[in-house]
């Protein structure tokens, strides 16, 4: 039986229990609280851990204007993978030169939309996709995505995308014949990497490919995109980012000269920046456990329980009462809609609040409208003045700026 209580202290910073209660009372639940100060802090920690690397935030992780505006003002670029994501960065005034298009499979209309915007760097991992760029060879350049499998990552992405390392040269030869410019390589060893081993190995192997391409006089391959995968601290056993990146820095130092390293972080930046606030809407004793039904669940912002294999630190604001075996479930009629089981909670009543931490990555991004329950309202705090165009009104509290915006 797990006791998830008291993992995080709500007394830290402005997210104290009383303030969350006031906010929930004023705005209603379910709510997602996006703290832009944490977005900025995470970006800066990662940038410090990997000096010399240029970052392109993976918008898919938490596609919200406040996040884009915050990172844009920090000097971060953006990884876009769809026309919807292009529309979002465009609406935030991000110059196209600060974006790369990383989807390995694209429709001609996706390529054209990106080129019209001015984003000219694309990712390719197979001959069919490369062929699509023959007609755009004067306007586009390519990164070849290589698939390095990562058994250590919680989400292994190399199963679906990335060519075999030995097939890179087939693509490079084809590109050379077609007059398509290949600027470098990219990889993504999987999301939430638990150890740095896969990144290190992929950097080393990519270095070998770059060297060999130069030796054969094919392409200089000046860019190495090391993807995402940087781990977020969902639990205490996740390595600190500085510790995680130390072996990566070492591997990068052995890359061939004049290799520019870029990365596409998502989770590490977004996960800790969002707190979910939901309310108990009903309860029932079933077997030995008390089931609490919330107004948010796995079809809403807890969707990462299903799609992202994520377990979020959860706590309740009520601390009084004897803890008893409990289950937290979402509001839909589906039995899969369970957020946490076998946890010890004091007895809750309808209206009591449940707080989910580390809820920024792949949460609201993958939420659905199932049962037509409304998606959580997004509340933005600590965004620098004047940067969010989606705001509806601005509140001041203890010197912090809080903006309310519907997702």
Ligand X SMILES: Cc1ncc(COP(=O)(O)O)c(C=O)c1O
**Total chain residues near ligand X (CB under 6 A):** 17
Residue (34 or 58) nearer to ligand X, CB:
58
Angle at 371 between CA 314 and CA 81, to 5 degrees: 75
Q: Can residue 376 be called a binding residue for ligand X (CB under 6 A)?
A: no
Residue 145 CB, nearest approach to ligand X (Å): 8
CB atoms within 10 A of CB 116: 10
Within 7-80, strands assigned E span: 31-35, 54-58, 77-80
- 230 part of the interface to ligand X, by CB under 6 A: yes
Nearer to ligand X, 117 or 268 (CB): 268
Annotation marks residue 333 as catalytic:
yes
Q: Are 310 and 234 in contact (CB under 8 A)?
A: yes
The contact mask relative to ligand X for 307-346 (x = CB under 6 A, - = no) is: ----------------------------------------
Quote the least distance from Cβ 361 to ligand X, whole Å.
Answer: 6
Site membership for ligand X, residue 272 (CB under 6 A) = no
**Which of 42, 65, 102, 114 forms a contact with ligand X (CB under 6 A)?**
102
Pairing type for strands 377-381 and 338-345 reads: unpaired
Work out whether the CA dihedral 384, 389, 392, 393 comes out positive or negative: positive
Identified binder of ligand X from the candidate list 69, 121, 191, 278, rule CB under 6 A: 191
Q: In the bound complex, what is the minimum distance in angstroms from residue 59's beta carbon to ligand X?
A: 9
Residue from 188, 283, 357, 403 in contact with ligand X (CB under 6 A): 188
- Candidate list 147, 196, 207, 229; residue touching ligand X; CB under 6 A: 229
Stretch of 65-73, 225-233, 280-288, 319-327 contacting ligand X, by CB under 6 A: 225-233
Report the residue from 63, 162, 184, 266 that binds ligand X according to the rule CB under 6 A: 266
- Given the residues 74, 119, 333, 388, select the one marked as catalytic: 333
- Find how far residue 3's CA is from the centre of its chain: 27
Asked if 228 touches ligand X (CB under 6 A), the answer is yes
* Per CB under 6 A, 125 contacts ligand X: no
Near ligand X by CB under 6 A: residue from 267, 283, 305, 403:
267
User: DSSP letters along 382-394, please?
Assistant: SPPTT--TT-SEE
Nearest-angstrom CA–CA distance, 36 and 272 = 10
> Under the criterion CB under 6 A, does residue 157 sit at the interface with ligand X?
yes
CA distance 104 to 94: 22
Is residue 210 within 8 Å of 250, Cβ to Cβ? Answer: no
Residue 229 CB, nearest distance to ligand X (Å)? 5
Residue 264 touching ligand X (CB under 6 A): yes
Nearer CB in complex with ligand X: 229/356: 229
Beta carbon nearer to ligand X, 102 or 114: 102
| Cβ count within 10 A of residue 342 | 11
Q: Is residue 64 a contact residue for ligand X (CB under 6 A)?
A: no
Among 147, 162, 265, 300, binds ligand X (CB under 6 A): 265
Tokens of 317: 């604001």
Cα–Cα distances in Å, from 16 out to 209, 290, 375, 380? 51, 27, 24, 16
CA dihedral 20, 26, 32, 33 (to 10 degrees): -60
110 binds ligand X (CB under 6 A): no
Q: Is the dihedral of CA 265, 269, 272, 277 positive or negative?
A: negative
Q: Which is nearer to ligand X, 59 or 277 (CB)?
A: 59
3-state secondary structure 117-146: HCCCEEEECCHHHHHCCHHHCCCCEEEEEE
CA 52 from chain centre, in angstroms, equals: 22
The reply to whether 261 sits near ligand X by the rule CB under 6 A is: no
Q: Which helix (H) or strand (E) holds 161?
A: none
Residues constituting the chain:
407
Binding of ligand X by 58 (CB under 6 A): yes
CB of 32 or CB of 193, closer to ligand X? 193
Q: Which residue, chain included where needed, has tokens 């197979």?
A: 126
Judge whether 299 and 334 are in contact, CB under 8 Å: yes
CA atoms within a 13 Å half-sphere pointing along the CA-CB vector of 149: 3
Segment contacting ligand X by CB under 6 A, of 106-114, 202-210, 227-235, 391-399? 227-235
Annotated active-site positions, please? Answer: 333
**Residues near ligand X, by CB under 6 A:** 58, 61, 79, 102, 157, 188, 191, 227-230, 264-268, 361
């Amino acid at each position: 039986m797990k006791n998830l209580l008291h993992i995080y202290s709500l007394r830290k910073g402005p997210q104290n229990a009383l303030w969350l209660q006031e906010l929930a009372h004023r705005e209603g639940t379910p709510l997602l609280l996006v703290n832009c100060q944490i977005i900025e802090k995470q970006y800066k920690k990662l940038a410090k851990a990997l000096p010399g690397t240029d970052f392109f935030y993976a918008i898919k992780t938490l596609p919200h204007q406040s996040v884009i505006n915050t990172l844009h003002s920090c000097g971060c670029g953006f990884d876009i993978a769809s026309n919807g994501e292009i529309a979002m960065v465009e609406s935030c005034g991000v110059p196209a030169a600060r974006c790369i298009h990383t989807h390995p499979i694209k429709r001609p209309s996706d390529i054209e939309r990106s080129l019209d915007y001015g984003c000219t760097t694309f990712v390719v991992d197979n001959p069919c996709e490369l062929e699509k760029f023959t007609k755009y060879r004067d306007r586009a350049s390519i990164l070849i995505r290589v698939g390095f499998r990562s058994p250590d990552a919680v989400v292994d992405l190399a199963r679906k995308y990335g060519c075999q390392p030995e097939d890179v040269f087939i693509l490079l030869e084809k590109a050379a014949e077609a007059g398509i410019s290949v600027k470098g390589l990219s990889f993504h060893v999987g999301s939430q990497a638990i150890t740095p081993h896969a990144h290190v190995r992929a950097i080393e192997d990519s270095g070998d490919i770059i060297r060999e391409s130069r030796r054969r006089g094919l392409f200089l391959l000046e860019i190495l995109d090391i993807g995402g995968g940087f781990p977020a601290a969902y639990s205490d056993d996740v390595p600190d980012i500085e510790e995680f990146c130390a072996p990566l820095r070492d591997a990068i130092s052995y890359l061939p000269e004049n290799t520019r390293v870029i990365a596409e972080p998502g989770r590490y930046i977004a996960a800790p920046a969002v707190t979910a606030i939901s309310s108990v809407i009903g309860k029932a004793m079933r077997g030995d456990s008390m089931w609490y039904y919330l107004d948010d669940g796995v079809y809403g912002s807890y969707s990462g329980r299903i799609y992202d294999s994520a377990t979020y630190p959860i706590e309740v604001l009520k601390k009084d009462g004897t803890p008893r075996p409990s289950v937290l479930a979402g509001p839909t009629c589906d039995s899969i809609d369970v957020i946490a089981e076998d946890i010890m909670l004091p007895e809750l009543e309808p209206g009591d609040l449940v707080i989910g931490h580390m809820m920024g990555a792949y949460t609201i991004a993958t939420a659905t409208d199932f049962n037509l329950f409304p998606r959580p309202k997004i509340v933005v705090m600590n965004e620098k003045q004047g940067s969010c165009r989606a705001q509806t009104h601005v509140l001041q509290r203890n010197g912090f700026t809080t903006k309310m915006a519907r997702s």
